[in-house]
Structure 1
Amino acid sequence: MPRPYVLLSAAVSLDGYLDTRPGEDRLLLSNSADFDRVDSVRASVDAILVGAGTLRADNPRLLVNSEERRAARVAAGQPEYPLKVTITGTGDLDPNWKFWHHGGEKLVLAVGNKAAERAHANLGNLVTIQGIPTEATWQTALDVLGDIHGVQRLMVEGGGAIHTQLLAESLADELQLVIAPLLVGQPDAVRMLGPAHYLGGPTARLRLLETRQIGDVVLLRYAPKDISTEPR
């Protein structure tokens, strides 16, 4: 089976931050209408992926909250919830995190033998753990999700390092970016993207798929693989 269609999803402040500085209460960037939109996107995919750092910082459940959307998935012959996936380079995963105890199937992608061993030691039989190599990590991860787990559409909800890596390796098919009317202004706050060699360099222009106002936030949808050096 081919690699999944990779959809990156994030909300950022006007100055490009995902959150305030580490250790502070989580910053809610979006609004209720957009949270419902995100819920509908979750219901439309086969798997949702977040990094272990996001689990550590936010302790999310990462569910489809709408009963109607879950029922529609079941009626269509799908699991009630998408497969929940995290990726770790250390295996330092807390068995008490909410992620493991809500929703349907869970998968840990452990990068390297030591991470896989530690993940097994920490989680036991709580979840499925799949070891992947340290070379070509993301290509292998996507191959595993497609070939072994049948994932056709993958939603990636962070964190920023993962978004950066997937965009830099030209593995993201779509970016759904919500811009919130907030200014964080903290130099040590959590940024959406970090330094990287992105496809086409700093003059490359991504193709805009959609703009949509949702209350006081704006959704921008881009196709990261479709670039040009000229305005469209």
Structure 2
Amino acid sequence: MAKRPIVTLFLMTSVDGKISTGASDLLDVDRDFSTLDGVKEGLHQYYELEAQTDLWSLNTGRVMQKIGVNERTEAPEPMGVSFVIVDNRPHLDQNGVSYLCRWVRNLVLVTTNREHPAFSIQEKNLRIIYQENLHLTQLLEQLAEEHNVERLTVQSGGTLNGLFLREKLLDYVNIVVAPVLIGGKDTSSLIDGPSITERSQLDRLGVLQLERCEVLAHSYLHLCYRVVR
């Protein structure tokens, strides 16, 4: 079996498992939770835990667009973390990609779009991986072989998280639960994507073993699971 990184899914969710405050890109947990009494008081704990995650983090161009990297013009304070960004549409423009290159240690941009604006950018810390179709197992093997990635934190949207689940690529699930209910069938959850429809597909579920449960301040929880093979 080819080597791949140990993969941890790390996100903040509501009690009902939502990772957004609604079904619109204008709504965002990071931004909106900071305005809610009873929720904003403990929000800092998530960011403190996030700062302790792996030195390689995987996310999506859509998430980067939501946090505004395409519009940022200021010089960022460089981070010691490296990013793997999956972006097909694309959601990132040239400014967004250039900003990320200045912000992170290394940027690996993964795309199925031959016209992605990243192809026109020359940066020493930018590596572009083109795939005809997104192949996560192959991507992880490349990250291990070409970039010596041993551990990877996934912080992407529900659809991509669902691909990691179905392809049995998650090793750990690390969740910060905020004391709020969001609801809405169209609001993104921790794991989205196609549902299983038959009992014969039950082996596609991710069975978890609780390794640690921390009760944080202001009614937050920190849940750490190992994925059972």
Report the TM-score, using the length of structure 2 for normalisation. 0.77
User: What residue is the counterpart of 2:93 in the other structure?
Assistant: 94
User: What residue is the counterpart of 1:185 in the other structure?
Assistant: 183
User: What residue is the counterpart of 1:9 in the other structure?
Assistant: 10
Say if 2:55 is the partner of 1:58.
no
Amino acid aligned to 1:146: A
Cα separation, 2, equivalents of 1:140 and 1:159: 20
Please tell me whether the aligned partners of residues 116 and 129 of structure 1 are also in contact (alpha carbons under 8 angstroms): no
Secondary structure at 1:3 match in 2 = coil
Say if 2:225 is the partner of 1:213.
no
Q: Which stretch of structure 1 is more off in the superposition, 140-149 or 190-199?
A: 190-199
User: What residue is the counterpart of 2:121 in the other structure?
Assistant: 124
**1:144 offset after TM fit, Å?**
1.0
Cα separation, 1, equivalents of 2:7 and 2:88: 21
Amino acid aligned to 1:209: E
Please list the CA deviations of residues 146-182 of structure 1 after superposition, one character each: whole Å capped at 9, or x if unmatched: 0111100101111111211101111011110111110
Cα separation, 2, equivalents of 1:27 and 1:124: 31
Please tell me whether the aligned partners of residues 111 and 129 of structure 2 are also in contact (alpha carbons under 8 angstroms): yes
Report the TM-score, using the length of structure 1 for normalisation. 0.76
2:29 equivalent among 23, 27, 34: 27
- Whichever structure has more strand as a proportion of its residues is 1
Say if 2:154 is the partner of 1:145.
no
State the identity as a percent: 20
**1:60 offset after TM fit, Å?**
6.1
Please list the CA deviations of residues 101-155 of structure 1 after superposition, one character each: whole Å capped at 9, or x if unmatched: 31322110123xxx1342445x5214321212416x0011101100111100101
Unaligned ranges ≥5, structure 2? 34-41, 71-76
**1:84 offset after TM fit, Å?**
1.1
Cα separation, 1, equivalents of 2:106 and 2:204: 38
**1:91 offset after TM fit, Å?**
4.1
C-alpha spacing 1:201/1:91, structure 2 compared with 1 (3 Å): closer
Secondary structure at 1:191 match in 2 = coil
User: What residue is the counterpart of 1:82 in the other structure?
Assistant: 81
Amino acid aligned to 1:49: L
Secondary structure at 1:147 match in 2 = helix
Cα separation, 2, equivalents of 1:23 and 1:134: 25
- Paired residue total: 201
Cα separation, 2, equivalents of 1:153 and 1:51: 18
Please tell me whether the aligned partners of residues 34 and 214 of structure 1 are also in contact (alpha carbons under 8 angstroms): no
Secondary structure at 1:166 match in 2 = helix
Amino acid aligned to 1:222: Y
User: What residue is the counterpart of 2:155 in the other structure?
Assistant: 157
Please tell me whether the aligned partners of residues 110 and 130 of structure 2 are also in contact (alpha carbons under 8 angstroms): yes
Cα separation, 1, equivalents of 2:62 and 2:202: 25
Amino acid aligned to 2:215: Q
- Pairing 1:104-123 to 2, within 5 Å after superposition: 104-111=105-112, 115-121=113-119, 123=120
Please tell me whether the aligned partners of residues 92 and 118 of structure 1 are also in contact (alpha carbons under 8 angstroms): no
Cα separation, 1, equivalents of 2:118 and 2:177: 38
- Pairing 1:196-207 to 2, within 5 Å after superposition: 196-197=195-196, 200=203, 205-207=207-209
Say if 2:168 is the partner of 1:166.
no
Please list the CA deviations of residues 155-214 of structure 1 after superposition, one character each: whole Å capped at 9, or x if unmatched: 111111121110111101111011111011233322221244476256x64111111112
C-alpha spacing 1:144/1:53, structure 2 compared with 1 (3 Å): same
C-alpha spacing 1:12/1:118, structure 2 compared with 1 (3 Å): same
